[in-house]
Amino acid sequence: MANYFVGDIQGCYDELRKLMDQVGFDPAEDVLWCTGDLVARGPGSLEVLRLFRDLGDAGRTVLGNHDLHLLAVHARLKKAKPKDRLQAFLDAPDSDELIQWLRRQPLYRHLPEHKVILTHAGVPPHWGVNDVIHRGDEVSDTLQSDHYLDFVAQMYGDKPDLDDPDASAYQRQTYTINCLTRMRLLYPDGRLDFYAKGDPVGEGTLVPWFRLPHPLLQEYRLVFGHWAALMGQSRTRNAISLDTGACWGHWLTFWQLETGLRFTQHADKVWG
């Protein structure tokens, strides 16, 4: 049995299938874990969602910011961006079923036996394991509730950008989403920045979330995507970066947990 972790797929279905073939992925024996952002940009968002749904326990993902946005687009709370190439999904006869499957996916995956936590963007430096579990589960409970669209409609925005013990439930959950699905660079006080996304070198006072004092990184490997500019290189022990810009014409990357080996597939085309 092997556990393969894949970076942001973003609709690059052909590259995903080629990588699965390259490693000889066997759903009867192996598990494929995704850092989220299954959809958008590439032409195969529908096929990627169907593949993960049909893999059952052999295909496990977390929610990324593009996946959450799809919930809003499907509900007509937001308009689809032409560059996200989602029309085939929106027209599909099983789109409603896939949306119900998608909103049951969590914001984190905890593999305690391997000391691994998987999220889309990372884990804030001031959070421990219990914070990830409690805060992530709180959002999941809301997304799986009958009134989830009330939350989806208001989850957009760059505030809150700092933890606030006096925040309302929705504000607290929006901060959780901002951390787990949008975080890249932080100010020294831990406040989130949402605009800088290039190489972290030369970003002034901003610091990558994994370069601030982070006790959890001493104990766990934190596997994440979301930051294509890193090209899979965090240069930080236990911060496992896997977004290598497939939709931007670069690579899709698998990381095998048991061996630490990486496998790559060059993108067929620039979609971003």
Residues 6+ apart with CB under 8 A from 218: 238
pLDDT of residue 198: 74
pLDDT of residue 116: 98
Kind of pairing, strands 31-34 and 59-61? parallel
pLDDT of residue 202: 55
The residue whose two tokens read 């805060």 is 135
The domain ranges of the chain are 3-266
pLDDT of residue 135: 98
The residue whose two tokens read 């036996």 is 113
Buried b (16+ CB within 10 A) or exposed e, 226-252: bbbebebebeeebbbbbbbbbbbebbb
- Rounded CA-CA distance 38/145 in Å is 22
| Average pLDDT per 10 consecutive residues for the chain, totaling 272 residues | 97 98 98 98 98 98 98 96 96 98 98 98 98 98 97 94 94 97 95 85 80 96 97 96 97 98 95 87
Amino acid at 18: K
The residue whose two tokens read 């593949």 is 51
pLDDT of residue 93: 98
pLDDT of residue 272: 81
- Rounded CA-CA distance 60/49 in Å is 11
Compute the residue count for the chain.
Answer: 272
pLDDT of residue 203: 58
Specify the CATH number of the domain 3-266. Answer: 3.60.21.10
pTM for this entry: 0.97
